[in-house]
Structure 1
């Protein structure tokens, strides 16, 4: 799915929600050591930067070169392009080998992964004991009843173009495979529910929506989901193009440790 986000890389970097700093503090408290973290599917590095506030080194990887071109530099974050052709052994070596990683994070990306392959690799490189993997996502933004009704119509009009893997987001990762031992922050079938508030201008909102995977998927079928009429509907419900408003996303998180 890397190519799905390549053309949107700049907009993605500018408009995707930033995760609250307290999330990273709570995540860091889950690991006894804070030497090495691996942020997988890092995109523009937004999660890697947050993790770096608590760990000595973060290796941030992505299959998309275009996304990495827009990643935020940080002295403790090492960005690496990991093409699909890279073997499991090469990936393991990249992060230091077996039992080398204190924390693995995957922000708004694990639903795209080959789960058996990724989880096998994660289990291999996590420290035992002490290593932790944390995955999270978000879905279904709300503003107020008037805006939410327009957004619901947009979702309904776009449903036919969703990628099959999107169902993991739709059920808040409740059906996501997660073969790790629970450590009290969600579990397989029972994610921890959170809120992710974001301040957006109207232009920022549109830019963010344009990065949703369904938009380029629909466009590939000749359908412009963000056509002029749809934009006007959003603008009216927003209250005007000059307003900045708070958007609340439903977020969900699961953390675990290797089963020994």
Structure 2
């Protein structure tokens, strides 16, 4: 049974997409930016006629989930803004823009300017979200915090936006009731998870990878043992909660 939960990435609850769809006047076109494997794009497609999923990584798009209403596009950083807008559908054409767990990596002024051009006015909405903590129980959470503290020197500075729950992330859009600049909307994502899945997630963290490249093992066997004891054994599958947060808005007219 545990092997079903080896992938620690959470699935975004369907209700999120219903909430967003209810805030757009039209449901013709959506754009999922930094789509990765298309996880968010296929959920958006339940509410919109067509979804464009874009990513700067061709490799990521090779693993994108196929869906009849989702079209994936490789959009390298070198692509001019006008060409990008044209490929998405043109100015003033997009009803919903979504960015799942990625906007903190973007050149924000440039991306927001592009988003404002692409969004339908009035009625278009942009939503960005992320998650940071996983809550299990007091004992396990204290071990996680201790481990997280050891990773701090190895994170890219842009990840500070994730650490503070997007509270300091610039977001120059008008509030639509699902989080605004300085006041993110807090959300929970429940998931069944194995210890192996949790450890795989930690090993994939960019800070852990960076540390390893510098000869520092942040997850030695002693740390793994500490996690295992707090978890309750390797074979246990536990109910956990990912703490997520969202900012959503429309272009200020």
**Shift, 1:73, TM fit:** 1.1
**1:37 is paired with a residue of what secondary structure?**
strand
Unaligned segments of structure 2, at least 5 residues: 1-5
Task: Say which of 42, 60, 66 aligns to 1:67.
Answer: 60
**Shift, 1:14, TM fit:** 4.1
For the pair 1:250 / 2:249, whether they are aligned, the reply is no
Higher mean C-alpha deviation, range 63-72 or range 164-173: 63-72
Alpha-carbon RMSD across the aligned residues, in angstroms, is: 1.3
In structure 2, the residue matched to 1:153 is 146
In structure 1, the residue matched to 2:208 is 215
**Shift, 1:202, TM fit:** 1.6
| CA deviation vs aligned residue, 1:187-233 (integer Å, no higher than 9, x gap) | 11111111112211122112222232222222232222223222222
In structure 2, the residue matched to 1:124 is 117
**Shift, 1:105, TM fit:** 0.2
**Shift, 1:147, TM fit:** 0.7
For the pair 1:38 / 2:35, whether they are aligned, the reply is no
- Poorly superposed stretches of 4+, deviation over 3 Å: none
In structure 1, the residue matched to 2:168 is 175
Looking at structure 2, the residues matched to 23 and 55 of structure 1 have their Cα atoms a distance apart, in angstroms, of 14
State the TM-score, normalizing by the size of structure 2: 0.94
Unaligned segments of structure 1, at least 5 residues: 1-12
For the pair 1:259 / 2:249, whether they are aligned, the reply is no
Task: Say which of 233, 238, 246 aligns to 1:240.
Answer: 233
In structure 2, the residue matched to 1:102 is 95
For the pair 1:115 / 2:108, whether they are aligned, the reply is yes
Looking at structure 2, the residues matched to 230 and 75 of structure 1 have their Cα atoms a distance apart, in angstroms, of 45
**2:247 is paired with a residue of what secondary structure?**
strand
**1:207 is paired with a residue of what secondary structure?**
helix
| CA deviation vs aligned residue, 1:11-38 (integer Å, no higher than 9, x gap) | xx94311101111111111111111000
Looking at structure 1, the residues matched to 208 and 230 of structure 2 have their Cα atoms a distance apart, in angstroms, of 20
Task: Say which of 167, 177, 193 aligns to 1:200.
Answer: 193
For the pair 1:136 / 2:129, whether they are aligned, the reply is yes
Looking at structure 2, the residues matched to 94 and 139 of structure 1 have their Cα atoms a distance apart, in angstroms, of 32
**1:30 is paired with a residue of what secondary structure?**
coil
In structure 2, the residue matched to 1:184 is 177
**1:15 is paired with a residue of what secondary structure?**
coil
Q: Note if contact 2:123-2:250 (Cα within 8 Å) is conserved in structure 1.
A: yes
State the TM-score, normalizing by the size of structure 1: 0.92
Task: Say which of 25, 41, 47 aligns to 1:48.
Answer: 41
Q: Note if contact 2:10-2:242 (Cα within 8 Å) is conserved in structure 1.
A: no
